[in-house]
């Protein structure tokens, strides 16, 4: 059995693409790796505890393909931290806004007042929407941006140009 699949005239090396942070990665290979991670994540989601562990393990290959795409664009791999930082800040904001709403509207929430419930979940959905846009925008930026032509400090052009 081989580790490589031929795509668009070049070989896709699974081990290098999904587990190494060195070098550069073509857009097409990024999307192949991303779809592999997505497929494994969806299937693993059907298995309760083992699926959670596999999902945690998928952080590494997702980071590897993202870092290599950033390298192909001539950028630092540390920019891959943008979605993680945005998610942490967003979930802290959700926790604070829900906590403040519960504290300020405790009596109304006990009476199941619809306005109090909307005051509780409205900001939460707004922040989740912003987080979705940040993550989706980052994915599209990394996955659709053209790489720098020629070699750069991260290695030769993966297209061979």
What's the confidence (pLDDT) of residue 40?
95
CA distances from 142 to 9, 30, 43, 52, 160 (A): 22, 9, 25, 26, 20
Rounded CA-CA distance 81/129 in Å is: 19
Question: What confidence tens digit (pLDDT) does each residue in 78-130 have?
Answer: 999 999 999 999 999 999 888 777 777 777 777 777 877 777 788 899 999 99
Q: Which residues contact 69 (CB under 8 A, 6 or more apart)?
A: 24, 25, 27, 30, 142, 143, 145, 147
Identify which of 44-53, 61-70, 90-99 has the greatest average pLDDT. 61-70
- pLDDT beyond 70 at 138: yes
What's the confidence (pLDDT) of residue 160?
79
Residue 13 backbone phi and psi in degrees, to 5: -95, 110
- The residues that bridge with 4 in the sheet, in sequence order, are 13
Q: What percent of the chain has pLDDT over 90?
A: 65
């Amino acid at each position: 059995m081989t580790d490589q699949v031929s795509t668009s005239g070049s070989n896709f090396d699974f081990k290098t693409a999904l587990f190494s942070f060195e070098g550069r990665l073509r857009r097409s290979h990024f999307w192949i790796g991303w779809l592999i991670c997505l497929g494994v994540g969806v299937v693993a989601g059907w298995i309760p505890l083992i699926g959670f562990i596999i999902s945690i393990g998928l952080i590494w290959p997702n980071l590897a393909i993202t870092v290599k795409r950033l390298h192909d664009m001539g950028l630092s791999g540390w920019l891959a931290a943008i979605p993680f930082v945005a998610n942490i800040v967003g979930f802290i904001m959700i926790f604070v806004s829900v906590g403040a709403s519960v504290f300020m509207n405790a009596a109304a929430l006990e009476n199941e007042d619809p306005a109090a419930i909307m005051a509780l979940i409205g900001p939460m959905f707004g922040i989740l929407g912003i987080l979705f846009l940040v993550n989706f925008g980052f994915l599209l930026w990394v996955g659709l941006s053209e790489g720098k032509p020629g070699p750069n400090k991260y290695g030769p052009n993966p297209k061979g140009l």
